[in-house]
Amino acid sequence: MRCKEVSSGGKIFVGRYRSTLLGDIFAVSSAVALREVRIGGVPDVFFEEVCAAYGYNGREDVCDGGPVLDRLFSLFDLYFSGTPVEFDVEVEPRGTEFEKRVWSVLRTIPFGSVRSYGWVARMAGSPAGARAVGMACARNRLPLVIPCHRVVAASGGLGGFSLGLDVKRALLGIEGVSTLDRRPSGQI
51 is an active site residue? no
The CA distance from 127 to 121, in Å, is 5
- Name the β-bridge partners of 116: 152
> Is 44 within 8 Å of 63 (Cβ atoms)?
no
Catalytic residue selected from 51, 63, 137, 148: 148
The CA distance from 101 to 118, in Å, is 14
Contacts for 160 with CB less than 8 Å, ≥ 6 apart: 134, 137, 138
Q: Which residues are catalytic?
A: 148
